[in-house]
Amino acid sequence: AQSVSQHNHHVILSEAASLELGCNYSYGGTVNLFWYVQYPGQHLQLLLKYFSGDPLVKGIKGFEAEFIKSKFSFNLRKPSVQWSDTAEYFCAVDTGRRALTFGSGTRLQVQP
Amino acid sequence: DAGVIQSPRHEVTEMGQEVTLRCKPISGHNSLFWYRQTMMRGLELLIYFNNNVPIDDSGMPEDRFSAKMPNASFSTLKIQPSEPRDSAVYFCASSGLLGAYEQYFGPGTRLTVT
């Protein structure tokens, strides 16, 4: 069965710092990859997705992610975080069965 | 578009009681998913439907859990009897047929079983 690993469980940054959250998956076939964000008390919202093509994908709110097939990774980045980026971030993988397998999430805390 | 609608938003019930969670997917979407979120286990897929038909229910914890989708605009997740370990946030999500079929999540139902 496929699995998704997010090694950073809790990240604390100051405003304007750069962000990179790791995501690795275990599945040898074709995958669709997603990053979702969950702001405190809210539901999950899609940040960005990768289906095919350019492995560097840009999402909303200045986020981007890079798919590196050889490393089975899909890391999320943002050059300069804001206090409003405080949230929990989930990486998810779809192996073609339409249902998502989520990572355990990374809680990001941005200090003003 | 109202997005995915879930009700109730909060449910507190006593152990042994029946609980029914409801979901209305986005109009035109043909796939519907039920997830459960807990601190210990994170986000887990319970079951998903495609064109109202259950496709994968391998995530349903046990027979106390059942889900139905009688039509394209409504689904229920029922727990009978409920237990304290069922306390969690239950999310419903839907996705469309064509193109980038990312899932759109509802606001969730926070269930507390005492």
Taking only the tens place, the pLDDT of each residue in A43-93 is 899 999 998 899 999 999 999 999 999 999 999 999 999 999 999 999 999
| pLDDT confidence of residue B52 | 93
Q: How many Cβ atoms sit within 10 Å of the Cβ of residue B32?
A: 28
Q: pLDDT tens for residues B67-81?
A: 999 999 999 999 999
Confidence grade of residue B97 (pLDDT, cut at 50, 70, 90): low
What is the length of chain B? Answer: 114
Q: Is A41 left (phi over 0), alpha (psi -120 to 50) or beta?
A: left
- Partner-chain contact B31 A105, CB within 8 Å: no
Of A54, A86, A79, A80, the closest CA to residue A67 belongs to A54
Which residue type does B103 have? Q
B30 at interface of A, judged by CB pairs closer than 8 A? no
A9 at interface of B, judged by CB pairs closer than 8 A? no
Min CA distance, A29 vs chain B (Å)? 18
Min CA distance, A14 vs chain B (Å)? 26
- Cα-based distances in Å from B32 to A42, A48, A80, B6, B91: 19, 20, 36, 12, 11
Q: Which two tokens stand for residue A20?
A: 């990179």
Confidence grade of residue A1 (pLDDT, cut at 50, 70, 90): low
Best residue of A34, A50, A100 to probe chain B, by most B CBs closer than 10 Å: A100
| pLDDT confidence of residue A4 | 93
Residues A64, A58: Cα–Cα separation, whole Å:
4
Q: Which two tokens stand for residue A76?
A: 């999320």
